[in-house]
């Protein structure tokens, strides 16, 4: 039996692993199908403290893992299939084996919704992005498309106008879903143009995005729009499926937490994007990972 199991190996899981390993608790990290989380799809990270020249997302995740391993964290490259929290020790089941521990930290993250278009994965971080805060600064003076019609899309679009020459909001509906105040801010911004009843049908470019094929879903008219980048703001899918019926999830699927890290199950903590629908940043995920680790250490001490 392990002392503590961490599910996930993004900034939240690896930060928790560093803290718990330094506390001589030898945490077991189940890294999942995408070790390193969303940052492995990011090129230059310029807003993570300590890297004044920026750092590549995959490089940052490798450094964090090496730091955790240095202090005694153990890693298993499996994907969690299910969990059993009805009795202690708690059980985590992967596709190949099961693990038990009295304490669990769930840091399984979330994945952005995408358009599922041809060659989409090839263009990720090469013109197709899912975080304006992370990548917007790379497109100063450029033309950008933002896909979405909710508050997140409006927020991303307004933020991108700090850098971009022009921002096109592409929304498949006849009217925006965002709150009235956010719609007003968008319509009053001279850099933003909203395209209603419009869908992206194809990414165009040689190695990086150079244009998109758009279609009006009312009259089926298609045209090509030359741009430099496209940001997808159509929501995220939290990686919480293995914990259905074991923890309380909200209507979207995020794990409900008190004070960002406490679940309703004693000894089960949560950290990062699997519970954080609001901030979704590497540094906030790392902060929640630290908090979860400190509370997990305190909980394990209470069992002795």
Catalytic positions are 131, 134-135
Which residue matches tokens 């840091």?
A: 107
Nearest-angstrom CA–CA distance, 141 and 154:
19
Of the candidates 225, 293, 302, the one whose C-alpha atom is nearest the C-alpha of residue 25 is 293
| Four-residue CA torsion sign, 35, 38, 43, 46 | negative
What's the rounded Cα separation, in Å, for the pair 46 and 55? 7
Kindly give the pairing relationship between strand 229-232 and strand 128-129: parallel
Please confirm whether the linkage preceding 7 is cis (ω < 30° from 0). Answer: no
Task: Name the one residue in this structure whose structure tokens are 């293995």.
Answer: 242
Encode 67-127 in three state secondary structure.
Answer: HHHHCCCEEECCCEEEEECCCCCEEEEECCCEEEECEEEECCCEEECCCCCCCHHHHECCC
Angle ∠(214,39,230) on CA atoms, nearest 5? 15
Q: 134 with 158: CB under 8 angstroms?
A: no
Place of tokens 């209470």: 302
């Amino acid at each position: 039996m392990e002392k503590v199991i961490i599910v996930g190996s993004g900034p939240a899981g690896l930060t928790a692993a560093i803290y718990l390993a330094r506390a001589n608790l030898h945490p077991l990290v189940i890294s999942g199908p995408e070790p390193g989380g969303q940052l492995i799809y990011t090129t230059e990270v310029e807003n993570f403290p300590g890297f004044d020249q920026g750092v590549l997302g995959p490089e940052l995740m490798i450094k964090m893992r090496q730091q955790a391993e240095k202090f005694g964290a153990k890693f298993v490259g499996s994907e969690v299939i299910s969990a059993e929290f009805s009795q202690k020790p708690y059980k985590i089941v992967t596709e190949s084996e099961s693990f038990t521990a009295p304490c669990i930290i769930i840091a399984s993250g979330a994945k952005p919704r995408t358009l599922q278009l041809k060659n989409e994965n090839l263009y990720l971080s090469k013109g197709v992005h899912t975080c304006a805060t992370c990548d917007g600064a790379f497109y100063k003076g450029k033309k950008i498309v933002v896909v979405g019609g909710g508050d997140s899309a409006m927020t991303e679009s307004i933020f991108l106008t700090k850098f971009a020459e022009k921002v096109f909001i592409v929304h498949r509906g006849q009217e925006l879903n965002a709150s009235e105040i956010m719609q007003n801010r968008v319509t009053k911004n001279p850099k933003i143009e909203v395209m209603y009843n419009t869908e992206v049908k194809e990414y165009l470019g040689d190695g990086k995005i150079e244009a998109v094929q758009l279609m009006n879903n009312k009259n089926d008219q298609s045209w090509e729009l030359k741009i430099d980048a496209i940001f997808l703001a159509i929501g995220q899918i939290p990686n919480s499926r293995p914990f259905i019926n074991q923890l309380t999830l909200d209507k979207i699927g995020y794990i409900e937490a008190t004070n960002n890290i406490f679940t309703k199950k004693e000894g089960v903590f949560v950290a990062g994007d699997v519970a954080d629908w609001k901030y979704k940043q590497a540094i906030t995920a790392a902060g929640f990972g630290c908090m979860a680790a400190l509370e997990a250490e305190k909980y394990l001490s209470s069992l002795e």
